[in-house]
Amino acid sequence: MNRNEADKAVSPSAPSLLSMEIGSDGWCLQAQRHPSSNCDPRAADVVVDLLVIHNISLPPGQFGGHYIEDLFANRLDFKADPYFQQLQSLRVSAHFLIRRDGMLLQFVPTVARAWHAGVSCFAGRERCNDFSIGIELEGTDFIPFDPAQYRTLALLTGALRTRHPLTTVVGHEHVAPGRKTDPGPFFDWDDYRKLCIANAKASTGAGCAGMALRFHGDASTTPKTDA
């Protein structure tokens, strides 16, 4: 069994998850943990109120395997693919990765700062890593994401909202325009929003929690004071 098959072997339970929980230590109880050293403490007074959605695949367009975990662990074999050469100086991470089959991996606890957004700005606030949680979807800018990924993402979003006062979800492309393009045109913001609202209704009977979260594309996510 190669590594790719091994990944698949542990994944079937993920799409059928019905709920998720983020512990007080910032680790999701249902995620497969791959702790990364590419993180640092958040400022004591910071309010984590932003969710940033990304896409990643290594090499680009190829799914499965262990290269994303390796990159976040600073152990990527740079000779394994020509594309990896340009990643040699990177020290990056995200809090979460959602595989094509919906499996959830976590690298950094949400109480810490992951290094996912880089130079970025939201509503006039720079360095989005300081006050955001980063979620990578395994994918590219050029093909649709899998329904299983949306299901996991919506469950995770709901769980994160019970632990952090999230107000807004944006894409990396929205906080680093001109520099980043992910999650890209195939990420379906409308489907994602609907799933979040449906989950909130199912868990609370009201759905108001889901609707209070602002998603990119909502009129209210365009900050009036943003430069």
Which residues contribute to the site for Zn ion (CB under 5 A)? 54, 172, 182
In this complex, which beta carbon is closest to Zn ion, that of residue 151 or of residue 172? 172
In this complex, which beta carbon is closest to Zn ion, that of residue 162 or of residue 186? 186
In this complex, which beta carbon is closest to Zn ion, that of residue 161 or of residue 172? 172
CB of 90 to Zn ion, least distance (A): 12
Query: Which of the residues 5, 69, 126, 136 is marked catalytic?
Result: 136
CB of 60 to Zn ion, least distance (A): 12
CB of 13 to Zn ion, least distance (A): 27
| Alpha-carbon 9 to chain mean position | 22
On whether the CB atoms of residues 31 and 21 are closer than 8 A, the answer is: no
In this complex, which beta carbon is closest to Zn ion, that of residue 23 or of residue 185? 185
Whether the CA torsion 199, 146, 177, 84 is positive or negative: it is positive
On whether the CB atoms of residues 177 and 168 are closer than 8 A, the answer is: no
Output the 3-class SS for 108-164: CCCCEEECCCCCCEECCEECHHHHEEEEEEECCCCCCCCHHHHHHHHHHHHHHHHHC
CB of 134 to Zn ion, least distance (A): 8
Verify whether residue 136 is a known catalytic residue: yes
Where in the sequence numbering do the catalytic residues fall? Answer: 136
